[in-house]
Chain A
Amino acid sequence: MKRTLAVIVAAATLVVSACGSKEDLGGTGQEAASGEVVVGSADFTENKILAEIYAGALKATGAKVSVRAGIGARELVVKALQDKSLGVVPEYTGNLLNYFDKTNTTTEAEAVYAALKSKTPQGLEVLEKSDAEDKDVLVVTKATADGGVKSIADLGSGKYVLGAAGEWQQRWEAKIKDLYGVTFTEIKTTDAGGPITVDALKNGTVQVINLYTTSADIKANGFVELEDPKTMYPAQNIVPLLRSDAVDAKGKEALDKVSAALTTENLADLVKQVDVDKKTVANVAAEFLKTVSL
Chain B
Amino acid sequence: MVTYLSDAGTRAALLDRLLEHVYLSLVPLVVSVVLAIVLGLLCHRFRPVNATLIALSNVLYTIPSLALFAIIPALIGTRVLDPVNVISALTLYTTALLVRPVAEALDAVPSHVTAAATAMGFRPWRRFLTVELPLAVPVLAAGVRVGSVSNISLVSVGALIGTGGLGTLFTDGFQQRYLAPIIVGIVLTLVLALVVDLLLVLLRNRLTPWVLVGKP
Query: A and B from one assembly?
Result: yes
**Bound CA span A150–B13, Å:** 44
Answer whether residue A44 sits at the interface, using C-beta atoms and an 8 A cutoff: yes
Are A26 and B9 neighbours in the complex by a CB distance under 8 Å? no
Asked if B122 is at the interface (CB within 8 A of a chain A CB), the reply is no
What is the total number of residues of chain A having a CB less than 8 Å from a CB of chain B?
43
Cβ–Cβ contact A29 & B81, under 8 A = yes
List chain A residues, Cβ under 8 A from B82.
28-29, 85
Query: When each residue 263-294 of chain A gets 1 if its CB lies under 8 Å from chain B and 0 otherwise, what string results?
Result: 00000000000110010111100100000000
A280 near B195 with CB under 8 A, answer: no
Binds A, one of B19-27, B103-111, B149-157: B19-27
Interface residue stretch chosen among B88-96, B124-132, B137-145, B174-182:
B174-182
Q: Which of the candidate stretches B38-46, B49-57, B196-204 sits at the interface with the other chain? A: B196-204
The answer to whether A85 touches B81 (Cβ under 8 A) is yes
**Contact A8 to B161, CB < 8 A, known contacts A29-B81, A282-B13:** no
User: Which residues of the other chain, B, contact A28 by a CB distance below 8 angstroms?
Assistant: 82-83
Residue count of chain B within 8 Å CB distance of chain A: 36
Contacts of B199 in A (CB 8 A): 9, 12-13
Cβ-based interface call for B171 (8 A):
yes
Instruction: Tell me which of A18, A83, A283 contacts B19 (CB under 8 A).
Output: A18
Alpha-carbon distance A85/B83, docked complex (angstroms)? 11
Q: Is the CB of B9 within 8 A of A72?
A: no
- For A282, the chain B residues whose CB sits under 8 A away are 9-10, 13
| A86 contacts B by Cβ under 8 Å | yes
Residues of A within 8 A of B195 (CB): 8, 11-12
Q: Which residues of A lie under 8 Å from residue B71 when comparing CB positions? A: none
- Chain A CB within 8 A of B206 CB: no
A79 to B7, CA, bound (A): 34
Contact A80 B175 (CB under 8 A): no
Report chain A residues within 8 Å CB of B16: 25-26
Closest to B164 in A: A70
- In the complex, whether B134 has a CB less than 8 A from a CB of chain A is no
Min CB–CB distance A28 → chain B (angstroms): 6
Assess A68 versus B162: contact at CB under 8 Å? Given A8-B198, A25-B20: yes
Within 8 A of A (CB), among B1-47: 3-4, 7, 9-10, 13, 16, 18-20, 22-23, 26
Interface flags for A77-90 (1: CB within 8 Å of B; 0: not) read: 00110011110000
Docked pose: A194 CA to B16 CA in angstroms? 25
Q: Is the CB of B83 within 8 A of A70?
A: no
Inter-chain CA distance A223–B23, complex, in Å, is 44
A43 at the interface (CB under 8 A from B): yes
Contacts of B171 in A (CB 8 A): 43, 70
16 sample A-B contacts, Cβ–Cβ < 8 Å, listed by A number: A9-B198, A12-B198, A12-B199, A22-B19, A25-B16, A25-B20, A26-B20, A48-B172, A70-B159, A72-B162, A79-B80, A194-B175, A195-B174, A275-B175, A280-B7, A280-B9
In the complex, the 4 A-B pairs of residues with the closest C-beta atoms, listed nearest first: A71-B162, A85-B81, A83-B79, A12-B195
Q: A: which residues have CB within 8 A of B? A: 5, 8-9, 11-13, 15-16, 18-19, 22, 25-29, 40, 43-45, 48, 68-72, 76, 79-80, 83-86, 194-195, 274-275, 278, 280-283, 286
A-B contacts besides A12-B196, A25-B19, A280-B9, 18 pairs, CB < 8 Å = A9-B198, A9-B199, A11-B195, A12-B199, A15-B22, A18-B19, A25-B16, A25-B23, A29-B83, A40-B81, A44-B175, A70-B159, A70-B171, A71-B161, A79-B80, A280-B13, A282-B13, A286-B9
